[in-house]
A and B are shown apart, each in its own frame.
Chain A
Amino acid sequence: MILNITAVVPENVIIFSKLILVLPFLSFLLLGITGISKFKNYSGIIGITSMLITFVLSAMVAFKYFFNFGKAEDVFQKILIYKKEWLSFSENISIDMGILIDPISVMMIVVVSFVSLMVHIYSAWYMKGDKRIKVYYSFLSLFTFSMLGLVLASNLFQMYVFWELVGVSSFLLIGYYYDKPQAVAAAKKAFIVTRFADLGFLIGILILSYYSQSLDFITTIDRLTSESEFYNNSIAASFIGISALTWALVLIFVGGAGKSAMFPLHIWLPDAMEGPTPVSALIHAATMVVAGVFLVARLFPVYALSSYGALNVVAFTGIFTSLFAALIACTQTDIKRVLAYSTISQIGFMIFSLGISGIGGENGHGYMASMFHLFTHAMFKALLFLGAGAVIHYIHSNEMKDMGGLRKTMPFTNLCFLVACLAIAGIPPFSGFFSKEEILAAAWQSNKTIFFAALFTAFLTAFYMFRLYFKIFWYIEPLKAKAKSEGNLYMIIPLSLLAFLSIFAGFVPFNKIITSDGKAFESSFHFTFSLLPIAVAVTGILISLYLFKSKNNKPAIISSTFGSLIKTVRNKFYIDELYIFITQKVIFSLISKPSTWIDKNIVDGAVNITGNATQTFSEKIKKIQSGNTQNYAFWYISALIILIVIFTYMYY
């Protein structure tokens, strides 16, 4: 593997990448610590400026990395450009704070800072007039800081620290409208579910670091992928017939699945839509939820070379979630929830694409495709959410039934939304087509079952996205153009930029720059192969056109035909109910209640008995202290006389 730093890192890149982390943090401090009224009117400006600089710096680092210093002997290097030992446990294991750049982290900083910048600008319009706008911007900055820290982390534990920070800022932002009980419940749910998954991540980290004797990414990957004593030990040790390494990787994936909302830990993401819409765009669509994908990609060599089993878990979780979420998305009526399920479905695509991938050259097709899809998805999903935000801002409702016929009153949003829908449906030449194509091609080469499931999901994706589109913008006769404007420049700029990228991001040559082993490979792009996915997507679109272009009773007939089936799907396969059943009926009554009983009656009981006995005893003896001075004197003198008598007899 790639270990030594052969590339020469320019001095300014080191400074830039430090600044990328420092700037959002500074803006968080500035907005978060100073009083509520200070900078209130400038909070947007401060947030946007710091994010703009961060984005420019990220772009410069990316540009220099890809075109200047990143390559050595035609291979993109993993370069540790900054390292500071922070907490050292033993000679080998220490928690470092460092910055590791390689193709994926460089791509991620660009994506994160770009989407974050767009959302910062958009929020200036969307959140205008909000009382706590300053707090809002400080949370956004905190989130961006933690996400950038996560992708640049050089150390598993450093990643874990930022991982939790991301969770916290997500919690804060979901619960931003803290006077809405659903928002508070959603924030708690998101935090508890991801926290529960992070327990798996932590245990995974501990197992992995125990066997690799290192927390450092480069060292860990190097030790666990080559024939070394570390590798052999981790394979030899086993638990229930599965090697320790596989356990560690599966547990780490559990953490990733929690953050990326993979089945069965997906339940928090749709509820997280209670947060402000720009937040949904930033966190719950484009950046934070891909942290799980990034985590698997970061440790990908270990997954691919050392543990085939763990990789299979990744693949099947991905494809199942993808299909499952797409089915649910077809029946939801809250537009943000449809988008949330579509996010889960698309992240499922990225995850299974990693799961079916091998390493090196052509085998690493899935890896490349996954990163490609992550990139394009961030663009069009952010666009979809910001578009949905514009619609919600206009209508003041999330429900599809309140919408319809908006194409005349909101022409700009209509156009952007259409672009994003075409991109996610995979119609050429929009960006989603290329990345989805790569994923399907990779699936075709490795696993036919997964390929057909993915194809069906692609069909569903096209169907539900256009159901959403038609329900919002067509469905009923267009309303008369109102005088109310769609939005100002703060809304138009981000949407146009994202729309532009949603169209053209597909032309980025990912097979040249982001591959499993850092080497470029020729992607076999066959037009004949892509005919089938395109046909499937077009079918999906045509079906929604037939059903939802104008108001009719066809959808009602279909849903009554499949009555109970549709009902099950609409209720999200009763997964939430299942969770409630498991927690309340099984865990609460079988585990929590007995342990509460033991705690109350035995543990507390022992303490109470001691306390009560002491109290009763002192209750009895306290009467001796009568407060009567003469009594005391009497007892004192009596005792004195007795003692004198005793001593007299003893010594004479």
Chain B
Amino acid sequence: MREIGIEQLLVVSTILFFIGIYGFITRRNMVTMLMSIELILNSVCLNFISFNKFLHPDKLDGIFFTLFVITIAAAEAAVAIAIIINLYRSFKSIDIEQADELKY
């Protein structure tokens, strides 16, 4: 059985990233879109961790950044849910296609 190398980790990270992108673009439900964003963030975190472990094992920068991302993702989730609730109050729906008045 082969050792898990950086390539495998990056492939997983890329797949996660594009699943997130796909979800973000295709899902109409805003909560699902928020979840997709979490996926994107997690893929980025995985990237940080992998590069830190395989390229600069003597440093901890990647790990710190990952901790930052997790913290900020938590805050971002709070803000995003607040926005979603407000939108729901205005449109009686959390369908992103209903909220298209900000144009022209």
Query: What residues make up the interface of A, taking CB atoms closer than 8 Å to B?
Result: 622, 625-630, 633-634, 637
- Give bound CA distance, A444 to B33, whole Å: 110
A629–B103 contact, CB under 8 A? no
- A-facing mask of B72-104, CB < 8 A → 1, else 0? 000000000000000000000000110111111
- A627 x B101 contact (CB < 8 A): yes
> What is the 8 Å Cβ interface bit string for chain B, positions 25-42, against chain A (1 contact, 0 not)?
110000001000000000
Chain B stretch 43-58: residues in CB contact (< 8 A) with chain A:
none
A629 near B99: Cβ-Cβ < 8 Å = yes
Assembly CA distance A622 to B103 (angstroms): 9
> Is the CB–CB distance between A628 and B97 below 8 Å?
yes
Give the total number of A-B pairs whose CB atoms are below 8 A apart. Answer: 27
**27 pairs across A/B with beta carbons < 8 Å?**
A622-B104, A625-B103, A625-B104, A626-B100, A626-B103, A627-B99, A627-B100, A627-B101, A627-B102, A627-B103, A627-B104, A628-B96, A628-B97, A628-B100, A629-B96, A629-B99, A629-B100, A630-B24, A630-B25, A630-B26, A630-B33, A630-B96, A633-B24, A633-B25, A634-B25, A637-B21, A637-B25
Chain B positions near chain A (C-beta within 8 angstroms): 21, 24-26, 33, 96-97, 99-104
Q: Which residue of B lies closest to A628 (CB)?
A: B100
Q: Which residues of A contact B24 (CB under 8 A)?
A: 630, 633
A628 contacts which chain B residues (CB < 8 A)? 96-97, 100
In the complex, what's the smallest C-beta–C-beta distance from A379 to chain B, in angstroms? 77
In the complex, chain A residues whose CB is within 8 Å of the CB of B100: 626-629
Identify 8 new A-B residue pairs, CB closer than 8 A, beyond the known A627-B99, A630-B25, A637-B25: A622-B104, A625-B104, A627-B100, A627-B101, A627-B103, A628-B96, A629-B99, A634-B25
A628–B103 alpha-carbon span in the complex (Å): 8
List residues of chain B with CB within 8 A of the CB of A626: 100, 103
Closest to B26 in A: A630
Interface centre among B21, B99, B102, B103 (most CB of A within 10 A): B103
CA distance A94 to B60 in the complex (A): 80
Q: Which residue of B lies closest to A637 (CB)?
A: B21
Complex: A628 Cα to B101 Cα, angstroms: 8
The CB with the most chain B CB atoms within 10 A, among A622, A625, A627, A637, is that of: A627
CB-defined contacts of A633 to chain B, threshold 8 Å: 24-25
Chain A's nearest CB lies how many Å from the CB of B99?
A: 7
Q: Which residue of B lies closest to A629 (CB)?
A: B96
Rank and list the top 5 A-B pairs by shortest CB-CB distance, nearest first. A627-B103, A627-B100, A625-B103, A628-B100, A634-B25
Closest to B104 in A: A622
Minimal beta-carbon separation of B6 from chain A (angstroms): 19
What is the CB-to-nearest-CB distance from B83 to chain A, in angstroms, rounded to a whole number?
A: 11
- Find chain A residues with CB under 8 A from B101 CB: 627
CA distance A626 to B26 in the complex (A): 16
Closest residue of chain B to A618 (Cβ to Cβ) is: B104
Min CB distance B47 to A, Å, is 15
Could you tell me the distance between the alpha carbons of A242 and B103 in the complex, rounded to whole angstroms?
71
Q: How far is the CA of A626 from the CA of B101 in the complex (A)?
A: 8
CB distance from A66 to the nearest CB of B (A): 82
CA distance A622 to B104 in the complex (A): 6
Instruction: Give CA–CA (A626, B100) in the complex, Å.
Output: 7
B90 CB to nearest A CB, Å: 14
Min CB–CB distance A648 → chain B (angstroms): 15
Q: Tell me, in angstroms, the Cα distance from A627 to B99 when the chains sit together.
A: 8
Give the chain A neighbours of B103 by CB distance below 8 A: 625-627
Q: How far apart are B35's CB and chain A's nearest CB, in angstroms?
A: 15
Cα distance A634–B99 in the bound complex, in angstroms: 17
Interchain nearest-CB distance for B7 vs A (Å): 18
Pick from B26, B33, B101, B104 the residue with the most CB of A within 10 Å: B104
A637 — which chain B residues lie within 8 A by C-beta?
A: 21, 25
Q: How far is the CA of A503 from the CA of B97 in the complex (A)?
A: 99
> Hey, which chain A residues are within 8 Å of B33, CB to CB?
630
The winner among B25, B26, B101 for most chain A CB atoms within 10 A is: B25
Which residues in A have their C-beta under 8 angstroms from that of B26? 630
User: Could you tell me the distance in whole angstroms from the C-beta of A643 to the nearest C-beta in chain B?
Assistant: 15
Closest A residue to B101 by beta carbon equals A627
Bound form: Cα–Cα A374–B99 in Å = 85
> In the docked arrangement, what's the CA distance between A629 and B98, Å?
11
Q: Which residue of B lies closest to A641 (CB)?
A: B21
A399 to B58, CA, bound (A): 115
**Within the complex, what minimum Cβ distance (angstroms) separates A274 from chain B?**
57
Give bound CA distance, A622 to B33, whole Å. 26
CA–CA, A622 to B25, complex, Å?
22
CB of A167, distance to nearest CB on chain B (Å): 54
Nearest-CB residue, chain A, relative to B24: A633
CA distance A630 to B101 in the complex (A): 13
Chain A nearest CB from B76 CB (Å) reads: 16
